[in-house]
Amino acid sequence: MSNLPTDTDPEIERLQIEGLRQMPPWRKMELMAGMCQSVQTLALAGLRERYPDDTPAQRRRRLADLLLGPELARRAYGPPTEKT
């Protein structure tokens, strides 16, 4: 069963999986940290576009809602300063 997109050539998929298996754990963590940073950067860009008048604090709070979910964000950071 394939875990990668179906448009990937089977030989390339095999090489990708083998490369991941041989990769040291520290490198896998490094890649994951980079992906998480990219997600946050893209989410903040979307929030800036949707809410151009937000302060940086409001934007961070909206990001917390996206990443943690509204309930956990409220428990961790308190209620939003304005209706989100």
The whole-model pTM stands at 0.71
Residue 36 lies in a domain: yes
Cβ atoms 40, 63 nearer than 8 A? yes
Residue 81: C-alpha distances to residues 52, 58, 60, 74, 77 (Å): 16, 7, 11, 11, 10
The per-residue pLDDT string of the chain (84 residues; one tens digit each, 9 = 90 and over) reads: 456 567 889 999 999 999 999 999 999 999 999 999 999 999 999 999 999 999 999 999 999 999 999 999 999 999 987 654
Q: Considering only CA atoms, which of 44, 46, 45 is closest in space to residue 61?
A: 44
CA dihedral for 39, 42, 44, 46, sign (positive or negative): negative
In a domain, 47, yes or no: yes
Q: Is residue 70 part of a domain?
A: yes
Count of structural domains within the chain: 1
> Can you tell me the distance from the alpha carbon of 75 to that of 34, in angstroms, rounded to the nearest whole number?
27
The answer to whether residue 84 sits within a structural domain is no
Residue 41 belongs to domain spanning: 10-77
